[in-house]
Amino acid sequence: MTEKDLQVVIPSRRRVESCRRSSQLAPFAAICVAEKEKEDYAEFGPALVTHPDQVTGVSAVRRWILERYKQRCVVIFDDDIHRVVCLVGRKARVIDEPAAIRRILFNSANIAEAIGATLFSYAITANILDFFPYDPFAFIKANGPCLGFVGRGILPDPALSHNTDADLSLQALLKDRFVWQDTRFMFEHRIMTNSGGNRHVISKESWSRDRKYLKRKWGEYLQEKDSGGVTRMVVSNVARRQKLSL
């Protein structure tokens, strides 16, 4: 894989200010917004790409991006990412140099392609206590605000408004038997405090609909988990490591 084989895209909706910060971290990224918001995001100039207004919701927008771009690897970089954290070492440290961030993404894409993984991601917490230097990689769940797709072996399910990462992870596990999650790095975002984004398609009714849909689709391999007062569907009952025999 070469540098030209990597495309980074920041999808955004009604978040010009936070998108400004994400684009500072990843100035090499395209900014993807609905056609009706083109003028609001005019400051991003030639980096701006628009999708049809009827393409709405995180899964549908991600799918549109993956179908539009032809590079071997597409990284979808959320518009509320405000910093990148490296968890290796005695103390966590912030990485804000765009060249270093692109190198992290490019290295991940190369590793994923080399080991045959369709999907990759990073740590979901910047808490150093949750990082284990002797076990820095995970192979079951790919989630968070920065997802990489190698090839187009899996695609987001446009029927979903919730728990899209869990669905993608299970698609990848079914196809490849594993995902690639590099927990040495964390792309931190403001998921609970930001307006805009996917909130226009989120409701109790949509949550109930998606929950039933996912349970029919994946059965025992998805379970509900409460995290900070938010109920999510998470991958469960999947083992990808043999027990050590001494």
Q: How far apart are CA 152 and CA 185, in angstroms?
A: 24
- pLDDT digit string (tens) for 203-222? 788 888 998 999 999 988 88
- pLDDT digit string (tens) for 231-241? 677 888 777 66
Spatial contact of 203 and 196, defined as CB atoms under 8 Å apart: no
Instruction: State the helix-helix crossing angle for 58-68 and 164-176, rounded to 10 degrees.
Output: 50
* pLDDT of 171 above 80: yes
Q: For residue 137, what are the contacts with CB-CB under 8 A and spacing of at least 6?
A: 180, 181, 182, 183
pLDDT of the residue at 128:
86
- Give the distance from CA 207 to its chain's centroid: 20
Helix (H) or strand (E) holding 77: strand 73-77
Hey, is 175 helix, strand or coil?
A: helix
Q: How far apart are CA 62 and CA 155, in angstroms?
A: 8
* All structural domains of the chain: 3-201 (3.90.550.10)
- Give the distance from CA 215 to its chain's centroid: 22
- Token readout for 17 is 């200010």
- pLDDT digit string (tens) for 27-67? 999 999 999 999 999 999 999 999 999 999 899 999 999 99
pLDDT of the residue at 208:
85
Sign of CA dihedral 9, 54, 165, 91: positive
Among candidate residues 182, 77, 104, 75, the one with its CA nearest the CA of residue 139: 182
Among candidate residues 130, 7, 109, 115, the one with its CA nearest the CA of residue 67: 7
Q: For residue 120, what are the contacts with CB-CB under 8 A and spacing of at least 6?
A: 108, 109, 111, 112, 142, 147, 148, 150, 179, 180, 181, 182
